[in-house]
């Protein structure tokens, strides 16, 4: 499949319900972490604010044909109770991951398999690659703005834009950068890519015609918006049906640097080894020396 076709199947639309009847939609994407030879841990990645506190979560996966192709339009919905408890939460940035191996194993036992395209850590730019990127790179963002999707074919929406600040730099001292793109509610958790097809531009080599490049720059989580008072606030971009204030997006988005995804690997390896999460008083698997409840297990 062509690279953009594969990216189409890298995302998943997430619907959450909350106590009191509130609902929210957001974007997630599939990723394989902790890769060692032929072993890996598959997860769904999204923002913490999309799933935190959710009573139930719902998403769907496209079934696979006998020749390992997507059976377009043939998909299965999964609804998971105690949804918020299924996720690992990053202690410092607005990210969460949910291991999905048990779900896939159970589905396989029921005779079902699904087509999706997980991203790999090798798509995360290295420090040298970031330094070699010129300012103002074209970017592609994939997700479900305002919850919009092709509900017949289980397909996301592609958006284009540019980097508004350089991904190498920490915007306002945080591990994130800005993009200039249409960032609407429901796009929270969208992967943001550099997707160069047929040409690559770097500081060291200029523009080279022929090669292509795909890099996962980061994950959208918020954006500056004008509220009714006239002030500009950075607002999480998750669709909340009970949202009670008026805000006007200004076509900028805050994107968490993708390297933060690697912070989850110690927790996931610990889960794979022990078959359970750490007790809240146990040392955090990340090696910080803190108890789990004060590090990656803290409630934020």
**Consecutive 10-residue averages of pLDDT for the chain (300 residues):** 94 95 94 94 97 96 95 96 95 96 94 96 97 95 94 96 97 96 88 94 92 96 69 58 53 95 95 89 88 78
- Alpha carbon distance 210, 34 (integer Å): 32
Asked if residue 39 is part of any domain, the answer here is: yes
Asked if residue 156 is part of any domain, the answer here is: yes
Question: Is the distance from CB of 173 to CB of 257 less than 8 angstroms?
Answer: no
What integer pLDDT is reported at residue 168 of this predicted model?
A: 96
> What's the predicted TM-score (pTM) here?
0.91
Number of domains in the chain: 2
Verify that 87 and 195 share a domain, yes or no: no
Asked if residue 127 is part of any domain, the answer here is: yes
- Alpha carbon distance 40, 27 (integer Å): 22
Pairing type for strands 138-143 and 56-64 reads: unpaired
> Domain of 132?
122-258
Asked if residue 106 is part of any domain, the answer here is: yes
Picking from 299, 294, 275, 273, the residue whose alpha carbon sits closest to that of residue 284 is: 294
What integer pLDDT is reported at residue 243 of this predicted model?
A: 44
Verify that 17 and 145 share a domain, yes or no: no
Verify that 252 and 264 share a domain, yes or no: no
The answer for residues whose C-beta is within 8 angstroms of residue 249's C-beta and 6 or more apart is 182, 183, 184, 223, 225
Verify that 162 and 96 share a domain, yes or no: no
Asked if residue 144 is part of any domain, the answer here is: yes
Verify that 251 and 287 share a domain, yes or no: no
What integer pLDDT is reported at residue 244 of this predicted model?
A: 44
Verify that 82 and 138 share a domain, yes or no: no
The token duo for 44 is 């769904």
Verify that 176 and 199 share a domain, yes or no: yes
Verify that 112 and 149 share a domain, yes or no: no
Verify that 18 and 78 share a domain, yes or no: yes
What integer pLDDT is reported at residue 245 of this predicted model?
A: 46
Residue 129 belongs to domain with CATH number: 2.40.10
Asked if residue 300 is part of any domain, the answer here is: no
Asked if residue 287 is part of any domain, the answer here is: yes
Residue 67, strand partner residues = none
Verify that 252 and 267 share a domain, yes or no: no
Verify that 62 and 73 share a domain, yes or no: yes
Verify that 211 and 86 share a domain, yes or no: no
Asked if residue 176 is part of any domain, the answer here is: yes
- Alpha carbon distance 218, 220 (integer Å): 7
């Amino acid at each position: 499949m062509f690279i953009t076709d594969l990216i189409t199947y890298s995302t998943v639309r997430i619907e959450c319900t909350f106590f009191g009847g509130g609902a929210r939609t957001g974007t997630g994407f599939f990723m394989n972490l902790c890769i060692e030879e032929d072993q890996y841990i598959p997860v769904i990645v999204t923002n913490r604010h999309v799933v935190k506190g959710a009573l139930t979560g719902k998403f769907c996966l496209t079934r696979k044909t006998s020749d390992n192709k997507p059976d377009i339009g043939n998909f299965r919905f999964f609804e998971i109770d105690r949804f918020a408890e299924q996720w690992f939460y990053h202690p410092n940035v607005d990210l969460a991951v949910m291991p999905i191996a048990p779900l896939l194993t159970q589905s396989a036992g029921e005779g079902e398999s699904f087509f999706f395209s997980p991203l790999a850590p090798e798509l995360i730019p290295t420090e040298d690659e970031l330094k070699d990127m010129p300012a103002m790179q074209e970017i592609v963002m994939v997700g479900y703005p305002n919850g919009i999707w092709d509900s017949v074919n289980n397909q996301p929406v592609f958006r284009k834009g540019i980097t508004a600040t350089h991904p190498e730099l920490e915007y306002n001292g945080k591990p994130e950068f800005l993009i200039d793109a249409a960032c609407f509610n429901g796009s929270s958790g969208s992967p943001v890519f550099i997707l160069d097809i047929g040409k690559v531009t770097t500081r060291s080599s200029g523009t080279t015609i022929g090669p292509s490049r795909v890099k996962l720059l980061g994950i959208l989580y918020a954006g500056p918006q004008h509220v009714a008072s006239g002030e500009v606030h950075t607002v999480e971009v998750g669709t909340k049906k009970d949202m009670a204030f008026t805000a006007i997006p200004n076509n900028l988005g805050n994107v968490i640097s993708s390297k933060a995804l690697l912070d989850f690997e110690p927790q996931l390896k610990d889960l794979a080894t022990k078959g359970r999460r750490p007790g809240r008083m146990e040392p955090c698997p990340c090696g910080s020396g803190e108890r789990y409840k004060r590090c990656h297990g803290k409630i934020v």
